[in-house]
Structure 1
Amino acid sequence: MKEYKAMLFDLDDTLLDRNQAVDNLFIVLLEECYGNVEETLKAEMLRKFKEYDKKSYGISDKTAVIESFYNEFPPLYRLTQIQDFWNHHFPQCFSISEHTLDLLKDIQEHMKVAIITNGTIHRQKAKIMNTRFQEYFDLIVISEEVVLEKPDPRIFEYTLNKLQVKPEDALFVGDNLEKDVKGPQGAGLKGIWFNPSGVENDSDIEPDDEIQSLDELLHYLTPKQVT
């Protein structure tokens, strides 16, 4: 097997469970704005909150998410600084398992590791600090910081230049076919599709590999590397 020199990762929905974080933020919003809510109604409110969040995914200003939610479910108390609320609480809604941290440590012992994430500097750095990821990566690249974003091949080229690794010696792991598979492939990397839910690929994008668990990445450590 080829001996790779770098493994690069997407952040949201790959290393971090963004869906669970949205659930956690919803609970904070309920406590702040609604008080006690009957369980059946709470389930419907969560479904709609996640629907509004999905529509705004990738958009920095999240005011429309909560304003739309307020319009459908009038609150007892209305936030006056919605964006500040989101920026402060959402990064704290993420958590990471010790198992994942141990896996990253194992990989880092044998090759360079980096994160490439689209998003704002403030929000993405807060997530990374809250989960201690900065200790486990040689480089973290945030799109707003470098004025490039996935799937633009230049953001992958920029990262590899910083790591001093050739594209053919690197892997990229992420959940989005367009941004995390086609994007890195366009820069000469191997694109690995992280697909834990087993979603059907109905696109014309062909991943170099598909995994349902990050543990499967140990396959890319050669026998020499894991001894």
Structure 2
Amino acid sequence: MNGFKAMLFDLDNTLLNRDEAVDRLFFKLVKLCFGDVDHTIKNEMRQKFREYDGKYFGQSDKTDVVASFFDEFPPQNGMPKQAIQDFWNQHFPQCFAVHQDTITIIHRIKQQVKVGIITNGSVERQKAKIAYTNLDRCFDMVIISEEVGWSKPDKRIFEMALKRLDVNPEETLFVGDDLEKDIGGCQQANIKGVWFNPSMRKNDTAIQPFAEIHSLESLVSYVT
């Protein structure tokens, strides 16, 4: 054992592949509002949808994502602006899928230490994602920023997790894909941050994680 008693996780693009979910939501939107679209045009549309999603990432209200997309690609069957958020809230959580390997790894870790999730986002969507993928059955605790009033990288959201799990910072690891929000944030609470970097991006920040991993399976060695 390495002396760790808890491991905390980010949700989007750590436990769940958000990019894949955005693509699935795009195909739902095209089927609903555009009908048949030429393959080449559809690829161009998908790229633009991803760009708008990235531009407004972090905003709870997703109206601007779809409205901007519709401005560039006028749909055959439009959607009123007031309906866009309902569409996103209803369909986006159902676009997520969790890999069985991830579930297996979490259960192996949970046999040794306490496990929890800290995620930024709206309560409605994040709870729906976690429930839809059955991750709620895997973790001892889930903290959602909108529910508690603090968002990563605010150290208070990490300190709340420590208190709920009754562990000390030096006994805890936090795993996330975002260097500034996840790793920089947990370090402010004196928690060691493990940077999940499967695409092997270059670290262009001054933040130095405790460790960098390219697969979640690597985490098992920290608790066994």
The corresponding residue for 1:75 is 75
The corresponding residue for 1:107 is 109
User: Matches of 1:64 and 1:147 in 2, distance apart?
Assistant: 23
Matches within 5 A, 1:78-93: 78-80=78-80, 81-93=83-95
SS of 1:26 mapped into structure 2: helix
User: Matches of 2:138 and 2:22 in 1, distance apart?
Assistant: 24
User: Matches of 2:42 and 2:16 in 1, distance apart?
Assistant: 25
TM-score (norm 1): 0.97
The correspondence for 1:94, drawn from 78, 90, 96, is: 96
The corresponding residue for 2:184 is 182
The corresponding residue for 1:191 is 193
Q: Give the C-alpha shift of residue 99 in structure 1.
A: 1.2
- Give aligned pairs, total: 222
Structure 1 gaps, min length 5: 223-227
User: Matches of 2:191 and 2:34 in 1, distance apart?
Assistant: 48
Matches within 5 A, 1:1-227: 2-80=2-80, 81-222=83-224
Instruction: Spell out, residue by residue over 1:151-195, the C-alpha distance to the aligned partner (whole angstroms, 9 max, x if none).
Output: 011111011001000000000000000111111111011000000
Which residue identity is paired with 1:13? Answer: N
User: Matches of 1:186 and 1:219 in 2, distance apart?
Assistant: 25
Consecutive aligned runs of 4 or more in structure 1 exceeding 3 Å deviation = none
Which residue identity is paired with 2:185? Answer: G
What RMSD over aligned residues (CA atoms) do the two structures have, in Å?
A: 0.7
Instruction: Spell out, residue by residue over 1:49-100, the C-alpha distance to the aligned partner (whole angstroms, 9 max, x if none).
Output: 0000000100011111111111111100011200000000000000001111
Instruction: Spell out, residue by residue over 1:134-164, the C-alpha distance to the aligned partner (whole angstroms, 9 max, x if none).
Output: 1000000000111011001111101100100
Q: Give the C-alpha shift of residue 2 in structure 1.
A: 2.3
TM-score (norm 2): 0.98
Structure 2 gaps, min length 5: none
User: Matches of 1:221 and 1:112 in 2, distance apart?
Assistant: 11
